[in-house]
Amino acid sequence: MNRYEQVIRWAAFFIGIAIMAFGIALTIKAELGIAPWDVLHIGLMLKFGLTVGSWSIIVGFFILTVSSLLVKRLPKLGAFLNMLFVGIFIDLFLYLPIIVTPAFFVGKLIMLIVGVIVCGMGMGIYISSDHGAGPRDSLMLALTELTKFKVQHVRLAMEVIVLCIGWLLGGPVFIGTVIVTVTIGPVVGYTLPFFRNMIKKMIVRGARNENFNKRAIRPHDYDGVSEKLR
């Protein structure tokens, strides 16, 4: 992987995480119910204090530890950075004064749907960087590897368990929980190949430009120009 490709992929990774966190913040602010993992994070916040982002980081660290023990190998650097920066960005966006909960149901519903789309875009971008899955996806893959069950079955079981725990802790479960759970997969299914193709094109274009610049002017070319000017 050359330097240009590294820059493109890491930029996509961090931009995608920031966009995904913004989408998560919008779904939370809509106050119509949220994704299972966010139900857990808010439930923990309501029960024990701290912030939503802090619990996202703490839970993510715990999950990465469990995943590493299950598969007996360390996760990629991207998984650690995902764990850290998603939590930081969520708290940052939640405390922005310009993001306020709409007064009416229609406004809340629009904010929720926009949040799902934005979150799906962010996931498509950061996953396209190929710098490692996030903590929750790492656990899903580890359990799939160990149990030999299908990914969708493992993911469903995880989210049901997490949702129940979050609900028992007081996390918000409502119609938005169903909407997010049902729609986020199709959104990522569209955005992932789109952004993966875009990133590949950017890398190929950058490599061509870099090679062109290297061939454009060579040291001995100046000698030829000098000879012609004599």
Would you give per-residue pLDDT tens digits along the chain (230 residues)? 677 788 889 999 999 999 999 999 999 999 999 999 999 999 999 999 899 999 999 999 999 888 888 888 887 888 889 989 999 999 999 999 999 999 999 999 999 999 999 999 998 898 888 887 788 877 887 888 888 887 777 888 888 899 999 999 999 999 999 999 888 888 888 888 899 899 888 888 876 766 655 565 555 554 554 444 44
Q: Tell me the whole-structure pTM to 2 decimals.
A: 0.84
Closest by Cα among 184, 169, 164, 162 to 37: 162
Chain-centre distance of CA 112, in angstroms?
17
Distance CA 128, CA 194 (A): 9
Distances (CA, A) of 8 to 14, 24, 126, 192: 10, 24, 11, 16
Tokens (6 digits) for 100? 């306020």
Distance CA 116, CA 50 (A): 25
Return the number of other C-beta atoms located less than 10 Å from residue 35's C-beta: 24
